[in-house]
Structure 1
């Protein structure tokens, strides 16, 4: 009895699990307490719980996931070249247009994606205007495919047409290559569905002036530009390499500018191309994306692995792919809307659903996963610095490991959370966090804000059931 009395004579340390009502009562009584937002595993869904039980404590899965994480960490992407999409992208042909996200037909595409495709056909001189472009498409003359199925990624609409110049990234450890267009900058740009004359002229300049100049500069490097090293440095300088690329673009500028000066380009050409990079703080996004994909592609196709190797959205659907499932097997659900800050004059009614391949960065453990290293990003996407740190910390609960290559100073230099585990997402109910821009639902208006978004949970639920079905014989043996 004395022990019981002693207990109540001490300061209570209260942990409240579940409903917050009891925790609020503790606050009223000025008693310090900790709120644990507990929920049953898999949200209490018996079907999902049974599926998780079938693959629990599975040595093959654990070993496969370790291998995937090793490949992701070991991958070392370099920018080695820039080339015409038709010449370098596997499977590209003269009537193929690549887009962001999972597969989708023209009839179902979002406004910005349709607008960007029209612009691409005008750029390719296959059409002179919107009417001719649509007629060509409806006649079945143009084929569409996801960028991700062709070793490529694209921001927002993600459109890649045959004549467009694309960065060539090589993962020198595993030997695979990935591709991404050159970031056009802000304003009226193709990736947001604009296709006015100024947009087409900028694309022509990138094709005829910028790409040849960069090709000459890169030819003077011994092995290319080390994108992995720049990313690691930028994370220590306030970038998260998705929505904030100020430091990384500056570091890339420092690396490439000396090579431009060594070329035989005229002085005015050098000035023009360097000013283009200098004036475009998001330039590095179109390098961090294919660099992330290079690591993830090298990690795809590992039997028994439950790690997510692709997250992508097309403005209608969100899609994921899993390492241990088919190469082109997508698990999709309707894309969510981004929640965050709108530019003056815009509101949620103007926004298109989540769009673009840029969450390949989060799939690699940077972007939204690294917001804790980028306190300035909260001014762009909303929330506060504590939110950014909490978001980064929460991602460790759904990942297989940590990436010591990409350490986060505000988290005591802890490696970023790496390897989204399908099982942990379902078990905890915690969804990957993505920070991203918001596109207007009408083609050509452009970016109207930025914020936070999560994948729909249905993608992961469907993937889990497919995984169990594929490996059923082994998991029940």
Structure 2
């Protein structure tokens, strides 16, 4: 062997790192010799998938379509311009509820989704007891619609009801807006399916005090550049999904003077400061609509194989792709693998739920874990796992977002623009880090961990793209 550089020599002087795919004979042999091995769950595409893949790869529109989609994502902006009630911002009427993920009915809804809907019914005064709320929901006395269908996103169960207040963000480059509810904090909260008295009381305070106060402060301040805060928080150890500590504090710093000058009673301002400052996840609900704006800009490009949404409702996992319009491609949601609170364990966990995977779809969250190695203390694993996750995601992405730089990777941009063809061809699925909701309605959060989408979402999307591709000459 000829050494062509000093780097080659260093490779021979350190322990090897081995990744294996396919049958386990090689991996087992290396492991028996105490060699660290990463086993990849890879299988060659089926004949049908191979035919679809070849047809899509041969589509003459694909390269330019993906360049267009990526450029739209990278050129998007995200300005926080208002905070107002969902009834006003989204036109929701009594009995209308938005939820996370692809479309779902009450009959198929998971425990946390049902619990959150029960809580929303109580909060809106449409039922006096949980039992009454369940009966009314089972009887069809509520209209359910995915958040994504109205330009919104919601974490976990993602329930948005008319009286809830929402952040309103604008993409000035493309003239669009997106919305997200205010973050309640952790533990027993509506988005995790809890609906006890403390949950309803908190929601009422958020609508009566926090929402109006924030709305007044944002309008007094003027537009807040959320993308700029996201870029800074990545330099400070956040990844934008399950770690938002720096982002939350930067937002609070941005709005503190405006909250004080809003004329609100000093107690209300103090309560708002305590609530936001004590809720490290508060900024997540601004990262999500910022990502929604970026990806919505890339929708509807004929021939593009870029994923523009990944979302879960606790029963189904769904993706949407630029070149196939608003169609959902779904498969069964998986139970995350992670760390559990207290005495909870995997048997208490509900399958994956929430619109917050929009962060990974835009190159944050699990795709940016290298920027936030401390995240492993929340979702499990080792620091090396966080670095490896980001490196692995470059292989299924179309571009790098240099605005979102990862210091430990020599300021390389985060992997951005999930490509359906690369996912199917490599067998590598998008990495998502997430909270874990209890499967029984009313439980709340039971842990946090890592999860990937079901493979069939991508093979189905590939087949649809193949059907839309021009015929071979």
Counterpart of 2:7 in structure 1 is none
1:476 matched to 2:464? The reply is no
SS of the residue 2:221 aligns to: coil
1:309 matched to 2:313? The reply is no
Counterpart of 1:142 in structure 2 is 142
Counterpart of 1:318 in structure 2 is 317
What is the CA–CA distance in structure 1 between the aligned matches of 2:134 and 2:141, rounded to whole Å?
Answer: 10
Counterpart of 1:389 in structure 2 is 387
Counterpart of 2:289 in structure 1 is 290
Counterpart of 2:263 in structure 1 is 264
Counterpart of 1:108 in structure 2 is 108
The worse-fitting range, judged by mean Cα deviation, of 69-78 and 12-21 is: 12-21
Counterpart of 1:363 in structure 2 is 361
Q: Structure 1 pair 37/134, CA: closer, same or farther in 2 (3 Å)?
A: closer
How far does residue 226 in structure 1 lie from its aligned partner after superposition? Answer: 0.9
Picking from 21, 24, 29, the partner of 2:25 is 21
SS of the residue 1:49 aligns to: helix
Q: Structure 1 pair 25/198, CA: closer, same or farther in 2 (3 Å)?
A: closer
Indicate if the aligned counterparts of 2:318 and 2:328 stay in contact, CA closer than 8 A. Answer: yes
Counterpart of 1:348 in structure 2 is 346
What is the CA–CA distance in structure 2 between the aligned matches of 1:475 and 1:425, rounded to whole Å?
Answer: 23
Cα deviations by residue, 1:320-358 (Å, 9 ceiling, x for unpaired): 00011122x111111011001111201111100001111
What is the CA–CA distance in structure 2 between the aligned matches of 1:24 and 1:444, rounded to whole Å?
Answer: 44
Picking from 408, 414, 422, the partner of 1:424 is 422
Indicate if the aligned counterparts of 2:154 and 2:181 stay in contact, CA closer than 8 A. Answer: yes
SS of the residue 1:134 aligns to: helix
What is the CA–CA distance in structure 1 between the aligned matches of 2:341 and 2:94, rounded to whole Å?
Answer: 38
Counterpart of 1:202 in structure 2 is 202
What is the CA–CA distance in structure 2 between the aligned matches of 1:163 and 1:50, rounded to whole Å?
Answer: 50
How far does residue 83 in structure 1 lie from its aligned partner after superposition? Answer: 1.0
Give 1:114-133 correspondences, 5 Å limit.
Answer: 114-133=114-133
Cα deviations by residue, 1:188-223 (Å, 9 ceiling, x for unpaired): 21111111222111111111111111111111123x
What is the CA–CA distance in structure 2 between the aligned matches of 1:376 and 1:38, rounded to whole Å?
Answer: 26
How far does residue 443 in structure 1 lie from its aligned partner after superposition? Answer: 1.6
Q: Structure 1 pair 324/124, CA: closer, same or farther in 2 (3 Å)?
A: same
Q: Structure 1 pair 384/198, CA: closer, same or farther in 2 (3 Å)?
A: same
What is the CA–CA distance in structure 1 between the aligned matches of 2:108 and 2:191, rounded to whole Å?
Answer: 18
Picking from 438, 441, 447, the partner of 2:439 is 441
What is the CA–CA distance in structure 2 between the aligned matches of 1:271 and 1:428, rounded to whole Å?
Answer: 52
Q: Structure 1 pair 215/25, CA: closer, same or farther in 2 (3 Å)?
A: closer
Counterpart of 1:463 in structure 2 is 461
Counterpart of 1:252 in structure 2 is 251
Cα deviations by residue, 1:281-338 (Å, 9 ceiling, x for unpaired): 11001110111101111111111111000100011110000011122x1111110110
Picking from 448, 451, 456, the partner of 2:449 is 451
SS of the residue 1:59 aligns to: coil
Give the TM-score of the pair, scaled to structure 1: 0.92
Counterpart of 1:403 in structure 2 is 401
Counterpart of 2:48 in structure 1 is 47
What is the CA–CA distance in structure 1 between the aligned matches of 2:130 and 2:333, rounded to whole Å?
Answer: 27
Counterpart of 2:328 in structure 1 is 330
Counterpart of 1:155 in structure 2 is 155
Indicate if the aligned counterparts of 2:30 and 2:37 stay in contact, CA closer than 8 A. Answer: no
What is the CA–CA distance in structure 1 between the aligned matches of 2:212 and 2:119, rounded to whole Å?
Answer: 22
How far does residue 240 in structure 1 lie from its aligned partner after superposition? Answer: 0.4
Q: Structure 1 pair 140/264, CA: closer, same or farther in 2 (3 Å)?
A: same
The answer for unaligned runs of 5 or more in structure 1 is: 1-10
How far does residue 455 in structure 1 lie from its aligned partner after superposition? Answer: 0.1
Indicate if the aligned counterparts of 1:369 and 1:391 stay in contact, CA closer than 8 A. Answer: yes
What is the CA–CA distance in structure 1 between the aligned matches of 2:130 and 2:56, rounded to whole Å?
Answer: 51
Indicate if the aligned counterparts of 2:59 and 2:303 stay in contact, CA closer than 8 A. Answer: no
Cα deviations by residue, 1:368-411 (Å, 9 ceiling, x for unpaired): 00001101001111111111101100001111111011011111
Indicate if the aligned counterparts of 1:23 and 1:33 stay in contact, CA closer than 8 A. Answer: no
Indicate if the aligned counterparts of 1:112 and 1:192 stay in contact, CA closer than 8 A. Answer: yes
Indicate if the aligned counterparts of 2:193 and 2:437 stay in contact, CA closer than 8 A. Answer: no
* Structure of higher CA gyration radius: 1
What is the CA–CA distance in structure 2 between the aligned matches of 1:425 and 1:133, rounded to whole Å?
Answer: 42
SS of the residue 1:98 aligns to: strand
Counterpart of 1:218 in structure 2 is 218
What is the CA–CA distance in structure 2 between the aligned matches of 1:275 and 1:451, rounded to whole Å?
Answer: 27
What is the CA–CA distance in structure 2 between the aligned matches of 1:454 and 1:404, rounded to whole Å?
Answer: 25
Cα deviations by residue, 1:243-280 (Å, 9 ceiling, x for unpaired): 01111101111111121122222222221211111111
The answer for unaligned runs of 5 or more in structure 2 is: 1-11
What is the CA–CA distance in structure 2 between the aligned matches of 1:109 and 1:49, rounded to whole Å?
Answer: 34
Picking from 411, 414, 417, the partner of 1:413 is 411
